Structure 1
C-alpha cells in the first residue's frame, strides 16, 4: 500500500516551534526579555496567518517582549544581532530584518547598516524596501556602496532589494517609473562573478521589461555580450520579451524573428491523464536555411481555471544552434500536479510550441480530476 504524504504548507515553516525557539534564544542572550509576553503575542490566532503575516507577527511580538528593556530600539537591535547566528537560515531569518523595517526607520543609517549585517543569515530584501519607500535617493546611495561589497549576499541585496516588482512585497513605484534610479547598482553588478548576484540582476531587469522594455534593451546593448557573465544576465533578463516574440530582444540574443525551419510532428502524450501523472512533449524541427540559426524554443499550456476559462503559462524548452539542413527531435516530460501557486481543474488543455517568439504548432491533452 502506497502512503501519500500531504505536503506541509509553506507557512508551517514559521510555526509554533520556530516562535518557541526564538523566545529561548532571545532570553538566553537577554534574561530580562519577556518571553511570556512574546509568545502570547506571537501565537494568538497564528493558524489564520499567512507566512509573511507570521514574520510580521514575530516583529510585533519582539517589540512587545522588549518593552521591559532599557535602551529602546538600539538595545533590541544589539539583541537581534547577537541572536542572528543562532536562529538558522530558514524563514525565521527574515524576522530580524522585518523588525528593523518596522521599528527602525527613525534611525535610517543605523538600521540600513543592520540590514546589511543581517542579510548573509537569510535576506533583508523585503525590509530594505521600507527605507526605499521612505527616501529612495538616500537608500539607493547606501545600496550603491553595497553593490561593491566583498560579500555576495550584500551585493545581491543591492539589486534584489531595489527590484521594482519583488514577489511577496509591495512595488517600488519610484523605481518602477524611473529604472535609471538603480542603474549605477546594476552597472556595478553586470559582470559579477557570483551566480547568486547575477540571478538577482537578471530578475531586476526582467521586472523593468514589464514597463520599460526599451530601457532594458538599451542597457543590454551598452553592456555588450563580450563578457560571459554579462551575456548570462542579458539572456535571462530578456526572457519575458523573448516569450512575447520581441524582435529586438531576439536579435540581442542572436535569434531571428522568423527562422527558416519546417516543423514536423508535435505531440503531447498521453491524450488523457489524471492529476499527478506525466505528459510527454515531442517535436521535430528541420532547418531549411543555408546558415546556422539560433533557436529559442518554448512551449505554453492553457491551464483550465475553476470557471472554465483558461490562462497561459510559458515554459522554457530548449535553446540551440541549428545547423543548415539539420534535423532535431526534442522531448520533455512534465508532471501535472498542484502547487501552492497553481490548482488544476479538469478539461482540455491546449499546448503550443513557440520558436523565436512565434507559435509554430499546437496540440492538447485532457485532464481528468
Structure 2
C-alpha cells in the first residue's frame, strides 16, 4: 500500500455507501427524517474532503434533514446510532450534537454519553469543554463512575490536552491538569480500553507539566497491577528522555551496571527503502538482578547539517546477575507524512536506563547515487 492509499481508504469509510447507511438509519428512526435532503446535501462536494472534513460535512447534512426543534432532532439522532455500522458514521452523528447542541448543554452532554457507545464522542465533546470547561468537566467527572467502559473512557479521552485530530481547548492548553480528578477516579480501572486512555492523557500532561505528573504518580499506589500498567505507559515520553524520576517510578535505577560488549549497525550504507539492523550484546556487571530499559536514538540528518533526534523502544527486561543478553531490531528507512529523510550521516545511540552506553552510525545515500 502506498503512503497515499491509506488516507484514501480512510476517507472511503465515509463514502457513498456510508451515506446510504446513515440515511437508512434516519428513515428507520422517524418518518420526519428527510432522506432525499440528507443524501443531496451529504453527497455534494464529498469527494474533495478529508475524513474529518467529511464528518463535519455529514453533520451539516443531517441538520438539513432533521426537524428544526433540537430536542426532537436529538431524539432521532439517538435512535439512529444503534443502526449505524461503523464508528466513523457514529462520529458524524456525534458531530451533529457538537455543532448544533451547545445551546442545550446538559441534554447534549447526556446524549454524547449515550452515543459514545457506537462511535467515540471524544471529538464532539471538545466544543462543550471550550464553551464551559468547568461545567463540562463536572459532568465528565460523574461519567468516570459509570458502569459503562465507553462512558468512562470518554471522561478521560475527551479531556486530553493534546487529543490527536481534535481542536485544542484553551483552558486545557493553559492548564493541562484540569481533568486530574477524573484521572484519579480511573487510575485503577478494570478496563484496558479505559486504562489506555488514562495513560495517553497522562502522557499528554508529561509533555507540558512533567514535574506535576511525576509528583502525582509518586503518590499513586504501586500494589495494583492496573495502576502499575497505567503508570508505565503514562511515563513513556519521560522514560525515553531518561528522566531519573520516571525511571525510578517503574523500578529502574538511572544508569545500569552493564558493559556493552558490541553494538553494530548493518549495513553501514543504505538507500531510502532499505532496512537496517541493529544488534547489541549487554553483559551484567552487577552482583544482583537489575531491571533494564533499553532504547535507541536515531539522529536523523536534516538540511544544512542539522539533525533531528527520535527515540525508539527496544526492550525492557530483567537481567540476571553476571548474565548476558543479545538484542536486535530492524527498521526500514522510509518516508512518512511526519518524517522525511535526508541524505547524510545518521548517528545512533544505544540508551540503557536513560544513559547512552554505545554509539554507531549509518549513511543514507542520495536517491540518485550510483549503485
Contact 1:300–1:312 (8 Å) recurs in 2 = yes
Partner of 2:62: 62
- Aligned pairs for 1:120-131 (under 5 A) are 120-131=117-128
Correspondence 1:327 to 2:324: yes
Contact 1:163–1:172 (8 Å) recurs in 2 = no
- Aligned pairs for 1:115-264 (under 5 A) are 115-264=112-261
Correspondence 1:7 to 2:8: no
Partner of 1:354: 351
- Is 102-111 or 358-367 further displaced after alignment? 358-367
Contact 1:118–1:124 (8 Å) recurs in 2 = yes
- Aligned pairs for 1:41-120 (under 5 A) are 41-66=41-66, 69=67, 72-120=69-117
Evaluate the alpha carbon distance shift between residue 39 and residue 240 of structure 1 in structure 2; reply closer, same or farther with a 3 A threshold.
same
Q: CA deviation at 1:128?
A: 1.0
Evaluate the alpha carbon distance shift between residue 95 and residue 281 of structure 1 in structure 2; reply closer, same or farther with a 3 A threshold.
same
Cα distance in 2, alignment partners of residues 350 and 173 from structure 1: 39
Evaluate the alpha carbon distance shift between residue 289 and residue 225 of structure 1 in structure 2; reply closer, same or farther with a 3 A threshold.
same
Contact 2:176–2:208 (8 Å) recurs in 1 = no
Contact 2:3–2:336 (8 Å) recurs in 1 = no
Contact 1:245–1:356 (8 Å) recurs in 2 = yes
Cα distance in 2, alignment partners of residues 241 and 290 from structure 1: 28
Cα distance in 2, alignment partners of residues 101 and 167 from structure 1: 17
Evaluate the alpha carbon distance shift between residue 80 and residue 307 of structure 1 in structure 2; reply closer, same or farther with a 3 A threshold.
farther
**1:111-148 CA-partner distances (Å, limit 9, x unpaired):** 01100001111201111111111111111111111111
Contact 1:285–1:329 (8 Å) recurs in 2 = yes
Q: CA deviation at 1:88?
A: 1.6
Correspondence 1:271 to 2:271: no
Partner of 1:21: 21
Cα distance in 2, alignment partners of residues 91 and 274 from structure 1: 38
Q: CA deviation at 1:189?
A: 0.7
Q: CA deviation at 1:231?
A: 0.8
Cα distance in 1, alignment partners of residues 272 and 91 from structure 2: 35
**What SS does the corresponding residue of 1:181 show, helix, strand or coil?**
coil
**1:142-177 CA-partner distances (Å, limit 9, x unpaired):** 111111111111111111111111111122332343
Partner of 1:363: 360
**1:212-242 CA-partner distances (Å, limit 9, x unpaired):** 1121111111113111111111111111111
- Is 274-283 or 130-139 further displaced after alignment? 274-283
Between the two proteins, the alignment pairs up a number of residues equal to 364
Evaluate the alpha carbon distance shift between residue 358 and residue 273 of structure 1 in structure 2; reply closer, same or farther with a 3 A threshold.
same
Evaluate the alpha carbon distance shift between residue 178 and residue 6 of structure 1 in structure 2; reply closer, same or farther with a 3 A threshold.
closer
Q: CA deviation at 1:299?
A: 1.4
- Is 264-273 or 232-241 further displaced after alignment? 264-273
Evaluate the alpha carbon distance shift between residue 46 and residue 223 of structure 1 in structure 2; reply closer, same or farther with a 3 A threshold.
same
- Is 99-108 or 278-287 further displaced after alignment? 278-287
- Is 343-352 or 122-131 further displaced after alignment? 343-352
Unaligned runs of 5+ in 2: none
Cα distance in 2, alignment partners of residues 36 and 342 from structure 1: 44
